[in-house]
Structure 1
Amino acid sequence: MKAKHHKGSHSVYSIYLHLVFVTKYRRQIITDDMLQTMSEVFQRVCGANKSTLMELNGEPDHVHLMIDLHPNNNISKLVASLKGASSRVVRKEFEEDVQKVYYSKPVFWSSSYYVASAGGVPLGRIKQYIQNQNGFD
């Protein structure tokens, strides 16, 4: 997949994020049905933030997301929105399953997360490009 460049009123951008969210205490609770529900929630949250969920998959204790990010987003606020909304919906729609693992605590995700930029050219190439620019002779 090739990175897509978007045009804003005063910018051209291509920002892709790889996010990983883990369940609280790394409990193995995520099912295929939960993953489908999370996908719908993540798509809504991304859309509300002018961003796009490009890919989602996971395992019983974590999920991976790839997001095409709009530049006016604060990453930590977007992550909080994604985790908060998905946690609320999953805890409500899968209440019995979640309570078997988390009892009466209103939790689902660990407070930590992984984020990395994705796509584009390797860092060494960008560094070399910058170094090769004409200086201020």
Structure 2
Amino acid sequence: MSQSLSQLYVHIIFHTKYNQPLIRPEVEKELYAYNGGIIKENASVPIKINGTEDHIHILATMSKNIALAKFVEEIKRNSSRWIKTKGEEYQHFAWQGGYAGYSVSQSVIERVKKYIENQKEHHKKVSFQEEYVQFLAEYKIDFDKNYLWT
């Protein structure tokens, strides 16, 4: 094959360090837009970005030319630097060290988009920690609870 082609949908989740509620309403939409710009700079396409005060969900098509770990690192590093410019209250902002990344079938893209759109409503019923563990179980990912939240 003379050409490399791909269509990789990924659902990425990561949270603020120590689950601190630092994604405040006054910067939330701008943060999501900024992350969309980072995604585009990495030859990828943001589809839906949303979250709550302590975590973020990203649905994107990912470039075939970047590894998931590098992709997430670029998003986290750049958005953390950016948010620190938004005022004194963000000077100590940091993302957690890890992330979750899941492949998404094209057949469920609309369902995942709606799920991400409804994060605030969803988290009135289910905590982020419960949600995260549910995802890990659903995708059959082995994990050590001692290291999930540090």
Is the TM value for this pair above 0.5?
Answer: yes
1:108 matches 2:94: yes
Aligned equivalent of 1:126 = none
Give the alignment partner of residue 47 of structure 2, picking from 47, 54, 65.
54
Query: Which structure has greater helix proportion?
Result: 2
Aligned equivalents of 1:48, 1:79: Cα separation in 2: 13
1:29 matches 2:29: no
Aligned equivalent of 2:89 = 97
Aligned equivalents of 2:76, 2:52: Cα separation in 1: 16
* Count of residues paired in the alignment: 107
Structure with higher Rg: it is 1
Runs of 4+ with >3 A deviation: none
1:76 matches 2:69: yes
Give the alignment partner of residue 4 of structure 2, picking from 2, 11, 19.
11
Task: List alignment gaps of at least 5 residues for structure 2.
Answer: 109-150
Aligned equivalent of 1:85 = 78
Aligned equivalents of 1:114, 1:32: Cα separation in 2: 24
Q: Percent identity?
A: 26
TM-score with structure 2 setting the length: 0.65
CA contact (8 A) 1:91 1:108 kept: no
Aligned equivalents of 1:33, 1:46: Cα separation in 2: 22
Task: List alignment gaps of at least 5 residues for structure 1.
Answer: 1-8, 123-137
Query: Which structure has greater strand proportion?
Result: 1
Q: CA deviation at 1:46?
A: 1.3
Give the alignment partner of residue 119 of structure 1, picking from 83, 94, 105.
105
Per-residue CA deviation, residues 48-105 of structure 1 (Å, 9 max, x unaligned), is: 1110111011011101000111111111111111001100111111x22224xx4xxx
Aligned equivalents of 1:33, 1:66: Cα separation in 2: 22
TM-score with structure 1 setting the length: 0.70
Aligned equivalents of 1:50, 1:43: Cα separation in 2: 11
Q: CA deviation at 1:11?
A: 2.9
